[in-house]
Each structure stands twice: as C-alpha cells, then as structure tokens.
Amino acid sequence: RASSSAINFVGPSLKLSWHSLFAVMGNTFHVAGGDGTPICLEGSSHSLSLSVLNNSAVVIRGNVVTSAVKCFMLFLRALGVESLSAVVFQGNDMQEISVVFISSESSNIYYNSWLQFSDNLFRVSPLGAFPFFYPTANLRDSTVSVSGNRFMPSKRMKKALWIYLETSNLTNGAIVAACNTVNDEEEAKYVIPSAYNATILTCSDPCALASSCFPAYTTTASSDGCACTCAEGGHGDACLPVAVPEPPSTDGAD
C-alpha cells in the first residue's frame, strides 16, 4: 500500500497477555516516499509502545519490503517483553532501509523471555545496525539472539547488533550472536557493552540452542541444524509460547 505506515498504533500501547499472538506474516509492503515506516507502534508518555506478557508472542515473519524505507519497525516508547513471552523477527526480505528495529527508550526483556532476530535478508544494508537498542536493553533471566542474517554489499554498515549503553539492570541475561554475514562471507561486527558477556559464534561454530529455539520452552536441540525439541507448552519449530499459523500464501499479500 502507498502510505508512510501500513500498520500504525496511536496512543496507548499494543498489549498482548495470556497466550496471545500478534503476527505480521507473508506481506509485501510498498511504502511511498522513502521515509516511511511499515510498522509504527507509538504508545504514550504513560505506556509502553509494545507490551508482550504471560506466554504471548509477536511474530514478524516472511515479509517483503520492495522500496526504500526509513525504518521497518519503530517503537516510539519502550518495548516490554515479560513472563515467558517472545518477539520474533525472522525471514524478512528488505530493500534499502535506514533502521530496521529500534526502540526509542530502554527495552525490558524479563523473566524467561526471548527476542530473536534471524535469517533476514538486507539487499542494501541498514545505515546503523540491526537491531539497534537505544539507549539500552535491560535483561532479567532472558535472551536476545541475532543469527543467520545476511547483509548485502554496502560500505556503510557492518554492525549486526548495537546496544548503545551498558545497563545496570542485568540479571542472568544472555546475548547470542551467530553467523551474521556481510556480502555472504565477512562476519558482521557487534557493539555490545562488556557487562552483557555476549556469546559470539561464527558460521563454523556448532549449533547454538539459544539462537534458534525459545530457551524457556526447549529441552534439547539436535546436533545438525539446530532443530528444537520442545518442552510442554512450546509450539512449532522454535518452541514459541503460542502456536503460529502459516500464512495463506508464500507469494505475499499487498
């Protein structure tokens, strides 16, 4: 569709709770003007932009952005993911883009929750980083994983993950970055404050459980290809807290 935003939540936050799902899957976005944002979650001064609670999930998967955009997914306020919940940004195909996933206030990922950014293709690399947490990411017993993303030829970007500032709100948090490449060969770079004690894996390293499966609902992963074995309550290939339906078509819907 020809507009600055295809999905725009104004005012109070988008809030999911108790086994809820918000999914944007299999779409083709045509955004006019070069400075649009396909998904914009505004929130207010008294609320988060996105709140995902109590075994819920947000899944942004298999979308195509055909034109230049300023940002794919923007949170004007904070992002909150808590209590066995997940946000997954996976398998999206994007043209020229300045920023992909950005929160304008600190992101809070608490209590066995998961942010996963995996297997996305950037045909022109972002200006900054993907994802970009500003000013910081607060982690409590939770995981952020960035894996298998491909950044095509560009001189302007080589950072696959950028956390701007160190946090004092860090308890048993894990960051895993695995096999993110620039020009299909060079390992991407990361800007992660030392307090996070991140795990950085190359493409030749063995499977990293936390990069492919929701840790809270996974018992094991296979030795080949990181196939997950889900614990009770886990759904699908990644053991998410809710079942995610397949999109009606792989060709995309405008």
Query: Which pLDDT tens digit goes with each residue over 42-51?
Result: 666 667 778 8
pLDDT value of position 78: 75
The b-or-e profile of 105-122 (16+ CB within 10 A means b, else e) is bbbbbbbbbbbbbbbbeb
The answer to whether the CB of 119 falls within 8 A of the CB of 93 is no
Q: What pLDDT does residue 71 have?
A: 67
pLDDT beyond 70 at 131: no
Higher per-residue confidence, 19 vs 250: 19
On average, the pLDDT of the chain sits at 78
> Cα separation of 105 and 175, whole Å?
19
- For 206-244, the pLDDT digits (tens) are 666 557 789 899 887 555 556 788 999 999 989 999 999
Write the CA distances from 202 to 52, 199, 239, integer angstroms: 31, 10, 24
Mean pLDDT of 79-108: 81
Has residue 19 got a pLDDT over 90? yes
- The pLDDT confidence band at residue 3, using thresholds 50, 70 and 90, is very low
The band of 2, judged by pLDDT with boundaries at 50, 70 and 90, is very low
